[in-house]
Amino acid sequence: MKISLILLIIINFMILSIERNKIWQNDIVLWNDVVKKSPSNHRAYNNLGIAYKSAKLYDKAIEYFLISIKIKPDYIEPYYNFAIAYDAKGMLNKAIDYYKLTLSYKSDHAESHYNLALIYNSKGDIDNAFRHLQEAIKIKPNFVEALVNIGSIYFVKGLH
């Protein structure tokens, strides 16, 4: 009797483990599960958006960033993630707007300055690119990508 009860408990735990492992198959499935269980969790929606963004499903990602912002409007990460998604879609003016919005909430967001610099540089606006790279480096002095890019601008401008 004891052995059959122990076996029943072990089998039950095995089944539960197998079911739970299905949720961990990828980030989209995991964060969808979190959103279902915690529908007011703004971070869960943002993370689900990031999972969709990583899968290059930018419109779906934007949808979840928007939900995150509706739940908690002063949470800056979805604004930054909006910018990255729009940037990836080639919608550079919208990306600029959202990087600037991120900076309006957190002026020391080095990655927003850096990404703005990349967009401005791609548009030929070297002065704005240079200014934002300087800001990124002021915030994060060891920001290698920003240092490399500002070095390129120095070279192009003949300031080497």
Q: How many CB atoms lie within 10 A of CB 34?
A: 16
Q: Given phi > 0 = left and psi -120 to 50 = alpha, else beta, which region is 143?
A: beta
State residue 157's pLDDT score: 73
Per-domain residue ranges for the chain? 24-157
Radius of gyration of the chain (CA): 22
Q: Along the 160 residues of the chain, how does pLDDT read in single tens digits?
A: 677 666 666 655 555 555 555 555 688 999 999 999 999 999 999 999 999 999 999 999 999 999 999 999 999 999 999 999 999 999 999 999 999 999 999 999 999 999 999 999 999 999 999 999 999 999 999 999 999 999 988 887 776 6
Reading the block at residue 74, the tokens are 């002063």
State residue 11's pLDDT score: 59
Spatial contact of 48 and 28, defined as CB atoms under 8 Å apart = yes
| CATH T-level assignment (fold) for domain 24-157 | 1.25.40
What's this model's pTM, rounded to 2 decimal places? 0.79
Spatial contact of 122 and 132, defined as CB atoms under 8 Å apart = no
